[in-house]
Structure 1
Amino acid sequence: MLVIGATGTLGRQVVRRALDEGYDVRCLVRPRQNPADFLRDWGATTVSGDLTKPETLPAAFVGIHTVVDASTARPEEDTYAIDWKAKVACIQTAASMGIQRYVFYSIDKCDQHQEVPLMKMKSAVEEYLKVSGMNYTVLRLCGFMQPLISGYAVPVLEEQPLWGTDDDTRTAYLDTQDVAKMTLAACRRDEAVNKVMTLAGPKSYSVREVIALCEKLGGAEAKVSKVPVLVLKATRALTRFFQWTAPASDRLAFAEVLASGVKFDAPMEETYEILGMDASETTSLEEYLEEYFSKILKKLKEVGGQSRQKDFYL
């Protein structure tokens, strides 16, 4: 198995899960100052390559049966280069080299929100993959639990301000470990071949509900600074006129989706059946945050209960 984007939040969980299930795992990693030693320590093989340079890709695909593509642009990177051009290059390389299965992570409802550049690119990659001639599985994701720690849990514990919006958008968050588990199930199951499936958590939450849950578990009141969605939309309208702020404009385009009060969620009964899994195997957001807060509050108690330094939230 080749994992692309193996150093990311989701990619590393896929690598660990695949290794635990007995796969020989190869990771495509870019040449970097801080090499991905932890992947090799786990037992994976790393191959250097640059997604923006197609000529560096073929060597990583030699002898590979399944590709899991978890790569996406970082905030400082060119989204178009990574999430469209590089994806096309990877799919072309995989198809030409006879890869048997290509697993691609997309975004829930990407086909319904073409006004958002990233969602439009994800939808276009889905269509490109469908006509590639390879067996594929597209996993559309709603949202991850992990970013909620730095975004909401830590500020609550530190009694620091946090940002919220006044929208009614709801998201069914998943633990990335559960996404990795579902991914490996999809790789094993013939029923998942040439399927587009949305992976959703047990329940969807608004930002207000996530903050309230953190307040309850952390035993502290959050200092919330609300940003009206209309302000985000106005900011996008301003930034889109300037070439050097185009990436910011693209990201602020999500404000258009927020304003619609969309629900990033989906029924999972059929998906669990396809994957051969049970809903009880999926971690709920309450369980995830409760485990986090219990560990951190225990650690704070051990050191005297006064410190709120970030060192304790690693």
Structure 2
Amino acid sequence: MEGKAVDKKSILVVGATGTLGRQVVRKALDEGYDVRCVVRPRQNPADFLRDWGAATVQADLTNPASIPPALVGIHTIIDCATARPEESTQKVDWEGKVALIQSAQAMGIQRYVFCSIHNCDKHNEVPLMNIKNCTEKFLKESGVDYTILRLCGFMQAIIGNYAVPILEETQVWGTNDTIRTAYLDTQDVARMVLAVLRSEDAVNKTLTLAGPQAYSTQEVISLCEKLAKAEAKVTSVPVWLLRLTRGFLKQFQWAGDAADRLAFAEVLSSSESFDAPMEETYKLLDIDPSSINTLEAYLQEYFDRILAKLKEVGARSRPKSSTDLYV
């Protein structure tokens, strides 16, 4: 007697509490999917996911035995997870993902959507990018139907790095690189992820997802200054100094992960562009290009909302500690 077929609408989101993962959960729920989210006991409470209507299951990528029970009754895995700054990329992004893919293979998961990094195959010197590239290869060889999404950058990251410091008149850290990034709103990325699930043509494909326009760090800071009507206190760190610091930190075992993250200095020194043509991808996913948010529109809405809040509370000067206003 054959078992009951797994519903195509049954999906598991890994990394559901993250910047992208939570947007994927909301969009999937809006489209009628049965959403299950992996959460870890030591994380902040994931009550908001349950409030939205998602189910949660406790599992941990660093504990392979916890993974298979989370996959029971699941058709598709959407993998948005990556190690937090305090975690080991080796244990989470490599060993954990290998265990997850092996579990997916053993349990007959029908589809695996993996969120990767654009140009990860060109920078083996950067540990996280090398791990993403190796994970892509491992997934392709697993036999599980997949779609790999190589992401260029998120607009949301700009808020904490540039917008808030400018509003609070604190230091903005930049670099003297010329690298350009085509940022995407995570809400648009979530739309594309769900469009991937509807597209048979996206099966066993690698797609790069990029925003409408690429910006340098200096251009992003200038845009934030213009919209905030304030001048940024910018301190530029030479790329050579980041590379030197990385070499120094690698001498110490405890600083291994910090050195790994500073390895992105190698990418900054390459002067490449994190961008890609999107015309064919829009057609493949049946997405109207004009519906994709631009960075200027995203930041305009953000600054309008925040400046309105400041005016509402009668702020005569920017408070020294006003992070809550920017959430």
Which TM-score applies when normalising by structure 2?
0.94
Question: Which residue does 1:302 correspond to in 2?
Answer: 312
Q: 1:42 Cα shift?
A: 0.4
Gaps of 5+ in 2: 1-10
Q: Distance in 2 between matches of 1:74 and 1:229?
A: 23
Give per-residue Cα distances to partners, 1:8-53, cap 9 Å, x unaligned: 1111110000000000000111113632111110000000011111
Question: Which residue does 1:134 correspond to in 2?
Answer: 144
Q: 1:307 Cα shift?
A: 4.4
Q: Distance in 2 between matches of 1:225 and 1:56?
A: 45
Q: 1:174 aligns with which of 184, 187, 196?
A: 184
| Matched-pair identity in % | 65
Question: Which residue does 2:198 correspond to in 1?
Answer: 188
Q: Distance in 2 between matches of 1:33 and 1:20?
A: 25
Aligned residue identity for 2:111: R
Aligned residue identity for 2:20: L
Aligned residue identity for 2:192: M
Q: Distance in 2 between matches of 1:33 and 1:90?
A: 19
1:313 aligns with 2:295: no
Give per-residue Cα distances to partners, 1:90-136, cap 9 Å, x unaligned: 00001111111000000000001111011000000000110111110
Question: Secondary structure of 1:295's partner?
Answer: helix
Q: 2:297 aligns with which of 287, 290, 308?
A: 287
Question: Which residue does 1:44 correspond to in 2?
Answer: 54
Question: Which residue does 1:7 correspond to in 2?
Answer: 17
Change (3 A) 1:138 1:33: closer
Question: Which residue does 2:41 correspond to in 1?
Answer: 31
Q: 1:262 Cα shift?
A: 1.4
Question: Which residue does 2:67 correspond to in 1?
Answer: 57
Aligned residue identity for 1:261: S
Give per-residue Cα distances to partners, 1:185-206, cap 9 Å, x unaligned: 0011101100001000000000
Question: Which residue does 1:79 correspond to in 2?
Answer: 89
Q: Distance in 2 between matches of 1:71 and 1:90?
A: 11
1:255 aligns with 2:268: no
Question: Secondary structure of 1:63's partner?
Answer: coil
Q: Distance in 2 between matches of 1:63 and 1:310?
A: 41
Q: 1:300 Cα shift?
A: 1.2
Question: Which residue does 1:121 correspond to in 2?
Answer: 131
Q: Which runs of 4+ in 1 moved over 4 A?
A: none
1:20 aligns with 2:30: yes
Aligned residue identity for 2:325: F
1:165 aligns with 2:175: yes
Q: Distance in 2 between matches of 1:61 and 1:130?
A: 19
Gaps of 5+ in 1: none
